Amino acid sequence: MSAKAMVFIDGGWLYRNRNTLFAKLGEENFEIDYAKLPRLFCEDVANRLDEDVSLVRTNYFGTIPSARSGFNTSKQYAFYDFLERSCGYETDIHEVEVGTDENWIKMSLSAALLFYAAQPGAYDIAILIGDDPDYGPSLRRARLFGKRIQIVGAHLQDGKEPPASSTLANRLRVSDFPLLYLDDHAAEMRLVRELVKRTCKQCGCEEETTWAGPEFFCSSCRGRYRN
């Protein structure tokens, strides 16, 4: 029987640390392969344990500026929708006033991690993508339920270790494995859009595309649809 892993992503932390991915590859920016991201760290844990690890769920926690803020949030909503529909994430998104801190993310992630820890058979291993010392108390308690914890952190942009005061690393009784680093997988996380031939759902013609969504419409059918 394989061990069950659940991934918990602190969306605020991931957003702040995405620059380490770009820095690692010496690029300004690139698209991140969110479908692949949780699987990469599951594989790392499986290799460390030398047993099968199955990914049961990826839980993503994020915030969005409140409707009153006047920000155009449609792109952000589209991104969260993409995480759910195309990457199989379970998202937990909260409207916040602009400029407020991210306590909501930490509270809801901790609550979910402990809630599932208390559900028999929900997971054996929690993989936390978000190396923030505030998670210490919840991780310690999840471990009291016999759960194993893997923390994923990030190097600074110059490749150095972050200061101990701002990470969970080296804290007692919060994790079962040495820290993994987000940026160690930078190359694999870089989204590569493959050019493939696909058949238009409308007219049946074939066209080369990088679109990987479930339904494909050729460029002329897309143009007609828009008008």
Contact call for residues 118 and 150 (beta carbons, < 8 A):
no
* Cβ 211 to Zn ion shortest distance, Å: 13
- Which tokens is 125 given? 């291993």
Given the rule CB under 5 A, which of 86-94, 172-180, 187-195, 196-204 is the region that contacts Zn ion? 196-204
Q: How far, in Å, CA of 106 to CA of 154, rounded?
A: 18
Cβ proximity to Zn ion, 76 vs 202, nearer residue: 202
Given the rule CB under 5 A, which of 11-19, 51-59, 68-76, 198-206 is the region that contacts Zn ion? 198-206
**Count of residues that interact with Zn ion, criterion CB under 5 A:** 5
Say whether residue 25 binds Zn ion (CB under 5 A): no
Say whether residue 218 binds Zn ion (CB under 5 A): yes
Given the rule CB under 5 A, which of 9-17, 31-39, 129-137, 215-223 is the region that contacts Zn ion? 215-223
Cβ proximity to Zn ion, 49 vs 221, nearer residue: 221
Cβ contacts of 210 within 8 Å, gap of 6 or more: 193, 194, 195, 196
Given the rule CB under 5 A, which of 1-9, 26-34, 194-202, 208-216 is the region that contacts Zn ion? 194-202
Q: Which long-range contacts (CB under 8 A, 24 or more apart) does 23-29 make?
A: 23/157, 23/158, 23/159, 23/183, 24/155, 24/159, 24/183, 24/186, 24/187, 25/186, 25/187, 25/190
* Cβ 216 to Zn ion shortest distance, Å: 9
* Cβ 204 to Zn ion shortest distance, Å: 7
Say whether residue 113 binds Zn ion (CB under 5 A): no
Beta bridge pairs of residue 60 = 9, 91
Q: How far, in Å, CA of 32 to CA of 190, rounded?
A: 5
Among 23, 40, 107, 221, contact with Zn ion (rule: CB under 5 A): 221
Cβ proximity to Zn ion, 88 vs 223, nearer residue: 223
* Cβ 115 to Zn ion shortest distance, Å: 47
DSSP annotation of 168 reads S
Among 78, 164, 191, 203, contact with Zn ion (rule: CB under 5 A): 203
Among 139, 180, 182, 200, contact with Zn ion (rule: CB under 5 A): 200
Backbone phi, then psi, for 197, in 5-degree steps?
-85, 125
Q: How far, in Å, CA of 141 to CA of 85, rounded?
A: 32
Contact call for residues 164 and 153 (beta carbons, < 8 A):
no
Site residues (vs Zn ion, CB under 5 A): 200, 202-203, 218, 221
